[in-house]
Amino acid sequence: MNVAGCVVIEGPKWCGKSTTAKRFANTVVELAKPNMFRQYKMYADMGDDELFRGEKPLMFDEWQKLPDLWDYIRAEIDASGGLKGQYILTGSARPVEDKKRHSGTGRIIRVVMRPMSLWESRDSSGEVSLAELFNGTAKVSGKQKQNLRETAYLLCRGGWPETVKQENTAQALFLAKKYVTSIVETDIVELDDIKRNPARANVILRAYARNISAPAKFSTLQKDIEVNDSAMDMRTLDSYINAFKKLFVIEDIAAWSPKLRSQTAVRTADTRQFVDPAIAAAVLGATPDDLLSDLNTFGLLFESMCIRDLRVYAERLDGKVYNYRDKTGLEADAIIHLDNGKWAAIEVKLGSDDAIEQGAKHLLELQARIDTEMMKKPSFLMVMTASPYAYRRPDGVFVVPIGCLRD
């Protein structure tokens, strides 16, 4: 809180933003309540001092409903001489873009909050630390407690606090599905002044789910929709996908462009991902039993769960997650690149010996292509799995179950 005058906590609905922010706030204004919204909109329209009544830190929940707050808060921070820790803004959607709105640089910082990783939900033993791997540890060990069926359940349950705390597994899966229902029937309809159709929104989410963990182009998504549902023009598709991104539902992975020894062309297409794999499972109507009988789909959604957790861990280390693909077909499912220049390459495999062997081979091939005179060597190479044990292979590649990993 004491790093800027205002902290904006962004992220998908239901991930715990408001609950977390309230722990730090002395005054809370809940703009989702109609009477509260009308009152504070009047204050904002009139520029009334009552807008900032209350003991600081002052929190505005769902602040995007009153976008003018941004510039008012920026001015208040300047008037206070840049005093830190005065305001908290939480929002489950980005407000409509306004070029006249001040950037907030130096006064306002953004923090992204995600659904819970397995370490945060206490479903990972945490015996393998990502930070320690980046610091050069040469040995790992550990055993995850989940079997393949339990891993499938964790995937379908998702990292939503409300589903995590459910002891009844059927109720947890029901709530995960209701989350998607809320997205398409309420959230995307109420996002802005653009009229959107819930049925069409659901169709688009399904197409996205069918192309999860793949670098599918918009044209591919469009064809998928037309084959399985009905015709949709590209502008409509783009509008809905941008809306899902504003709601923090869709979060694609950008391509990584390293310095290579050869002139190999790197593919720049984003990999399609949701903020949580449970969204894809719910949209596809996939249960844990379904995934166990369709290991191909299970593998793609498992990759999505691994990406969710890696993003949580990487951001705590001041890093980001990318993907790598080149024209020769060589790929790495995740590249973690830290702000200090360190990086690591990760392949995701459910866990068969042949798959792990293939993943390790790809990682070593990628390492050999990097121009280490232009950039650092990888801090580590890792195959992330749903298999039981964590260990280091003779070739130096780490094999780590998702249920053993932490930041």
Query: Collapsing DSSP states into helix, strand and coil, what is residue 147?
Result: coil
pLDDT of 98 = 57
From residue 274, alpha-carbon distances to 80, 210, 328 in Å are: 40, 12, 27
**Hey, what domains does the chain have and what are their CATH numbers?**
6-112 (3.40.50), 128-406 (no CATH)
Cβ count within 10 A of residue 57: 19
What's the N-to-C CA distance of the chain in angstroms?
21
What is the predicted pLDDT for the residue at 120?
Answer: 97
Other Cβ atoms within 10 Å of 64 Cβ, number = 22
Burial of 55 (0-12, 13-18, 19+ CB in 10 A): exposed
Provide the pairing of β-strand 389-392 with 142-143: antiparallel
Contact 305, 217 (CB under 8 A): no
DSSP letter at 230?
A: -
Cα–Cα distance, 384 to 352 (Å, whole number) = 12
Residues of the chain with pLDDT under 70: 1, 97-104
DSSP 250-312: B--BPBP---BSS-PPBP-PPBP-BSSHHHHHHHHT--HHHHHH-HHHHHHHHHHHHHHHHHH
Token pair of 338, please? 């830290």
| Contacting residues for 212 by C-beta, under 8 A, at least 6 apart | 272, 273, 274, 277, 280, 300, 301, 303, 304
Which pLDDT value is given to residue 102? 61
Q: What is the dihedral of CA 44, 95, 97, 276, to 10 degrees?
A: 160
